[in-house]
Amino acid sequence: MLNKSRMHIPRSSNPDTDKYSLISEPKSRTGTTVSHSSPFKAFMSPTMRNKARLHIALYAIPEYPETYHYALLVRPKDIAATSALSGLLTATKAHVRSTIRTNPDGVVSNPLVYEAYHIHDLADEPLLLASIAVAKMTVSQDRAGEILRRVPIYQDDGSSGKGAKFNDIEWVRLAIEMLRQADAVSDDGITWKTMFEESQNYMRRKQAEGRWEVGWKGGDPEAVATFDLLTGKDVLF
């Protein structure tokens, strides 16, 4: 039986106001804010002495249990120490998500939109199953936010163009590529192919361990399973 604490909280749009919101807001989501400016602003110290890490985040999609929604998280370098000190694990999330829009003729579409927000505590982030560190941040988070906002989003217009196969995973790939081109990350030469394959391998390994099953005894069941691809080590089990 799956751990129900990470069940799906779907998002939808209001076609009348064109504003996006959660269908049902989790009770403990206080402190998590959606931003269209720069939620990256206060996350990393200006001195860059303790460089944050760029993570690939994998979220459950309950109706498709063998697939995952992909996003990016920027998290502190020393996750274990941060958690022990404050009891909280903060992050900044960036991703694209599908919305629902209806035009004046009643035609419904599902455009992708970019979204970034600060997460006060990852334990309260619905659906988040795992987080995998893939690079070190080498620029301020303001700069990282500027780059991520410029990542192209291709919409599916029914043709065979770029939008036909564009999705959240492709956005993450392009985002990491743009961060690299801007010298905003240091990833030890790890390719996107390796990042993606290792993320899938990690999920299969954790599933085999029963990581998200009720009664799992390998650690804190409410924690987000975290792996560091740069060191090849589990950070949070």
- Give the total number of structural domains in the chain: 1
Q: What is the mean pLDDT of residues 163-167?
A: 92
Distance in angstroms (rounded) separating the CA atoms of residues 189 and 8: 34
For CA atoms 54, 60, 66, 69, the dihedral sign is: negative
Distance in angstroms (rounded) separating the CA atoms of residues 210 and 204: 10
Residues of the domain holding 203: 4-236
Q: Which residues of 190-206 are buried (b: 16+ CB within 10 A; e: fewer)?
A: eebeebbebbeebbeeb
Identify whether the C-beta of residue 136 lies closer than 8 Å to the C-beta of residue 13: no
* Chain segment 104-161, per-residue pLDDT in tens: 888 888 899 999 999 999 989 999 999 999 999 999 989 999 999 999 999 987 777 8
Give the residue, 223 or 84, on which the prediction is more confident. Answer: 223
Helix H segments across 99-191?
141-149, 168-181
